[in-house]
Structure 1
Amino acid sequence: MRIIVATVLLLMSTAVLADNSGERTWAGHDSVRTPTAIDVISGLYAFGRFQQGLLESADLRGNQEIKTLAISRAEDAAKRDKALKRIQQAIGAEPDVRKTSTADAALTGPDDSEGPAYVRQFYAAQVAEYEETIALLERYLRAPDNDALSAFAREQLPILRSQLRDAARTMADK
């Protein structure tokens, strides 16, 4: 029995799997296909909508610290969206705007979820969205299909990583 399990594990660790897009990935690694420019633009727009959603939520339930941060992040999103719009127009791409913002879902809860509970939810939602957006950009940069967008992604990654570290550190302190 041990030999069979060891053989299966060995095969899984060295096998090359194919996902439904025809791209190859290795077992144990990210099996998500390499995103296209349209996927990245769509994902960044969704991240911008998330940031706007946090601002709306913070206006309703957040303290001044949260409101100030939400305003700053929403302004960052607006600047990013403006730059993305130029790239999108140059590519002639139509982003997929079906992905909905998770800000509302991440920050809805019982009416008593204000104060410290809301602050923790706010930062936890930020961390999750930053991680997802950073992972999207990193996957894209492995095999970019547009020079302008890859330059934009390389420029945005350090900013997003820094904001992620800040959000994670603040969440840990709360």
Structure 2
Amino acid sequence: MIRLVAGLVAILPAIVVFAGAIAGSETPRKRSLLEDLGVKRLFDWPPNAHDVLRLLHEFDMVQLRAAALAETRGTDRVRQFAAEQAARAQQREAAIVRLNTFGLLNIDFATDPSLVRRNELAGLQGAVGQAFLSDYLAKQREDIDDAIGLLRRYLLHPDNDDIRRFAKQQLPLLEETREELQTLQ
């Protein structure tokens, strides 16, 4: 037992150094799996500018696809909310593209949401009636809370002034969206 503990203690620094090397070796073109998988959140590492733009881009793709689903399955209030979120997502996407281009970040954005997000959307696509409404509202709440958390964590240690300004601009809009969502429930 003592040897096992001693062995674990011996390799712990190597694991920490390896994780630090992975976290510090991101390049503009490399997708940050550490943020996507929640490792940075787990170890309280701040996201970087690339993480913010990449994950907000994915958030926007999901908002646009969820709005299309809500258009055919939601109540009037849900359809209106979804349409407003789709419009905000399009505006945010235009800003993200400008920041990526003019900030010379060179991020390769995914053309589709991640597999997890696609599965969530597929679940919404298969639901109708009250099941759709409760699933849609729950997923919206979770996605919006994740986006707010990402921006708040980024604003604690921003690494890019343009992205910091963008995050400060988006945070109140997302918090307002969360309040609007609560009125739908």
TM class, shorter-length: 0.7 to 0.9
- SS of the aligned residue for 2:45 comes to coil
Q: What is the root-mean-square deviation of aligned Cα atoms in Å?
A: 2.7
Cα distance between partner residues in 1 of 2:124 and 2:97: 37
Q: 1:97 aligns with which of 109, 115, 118?
A: 109
Partner of 2:20: 21
Q: 2:82 aligns with which of 59, 64, 70?
A: 70
Equivalent positions of 1:6-155 (< 5 A) are: 18=16, 20-21=19-20, 30-98=42-110, 100=113, 104-109=118-123, 113-155=127-169
Cα distance between partner residues in 1 of 2:86 and 2:124: 25
- SS of the aligned residue for 2:20 comes to coil
Cα distance between partner residues in 2 of 1:88 and 1:134: 20
Give the superposition deviation at 1:63.
2.7
- SS of the aligned residue for 1:21 comes to helix
Per the normalisation by structure 2, the TM-score is 0.70
Identical positions, percent:
27
Give the superposition deviation at 1:113.
3.1
Which of the two has greater helix per residue? 2
Contact 2:124 2:132 in 1 (8 A): no
Cα distance between partner residues in 1 of 2:68 and 2:98: 26
> Residue type matched to 2:54 in 1?
S
- SS of the aligned residue for 1:49 comes to helix
Give the superposition deviation at 1:165.
2.6
Unaligned regions of 5+ residues in structure 1, if any? 1-16, 24-28
Cα distance between partner residues in 2 of 1:128 and 1:33: 21
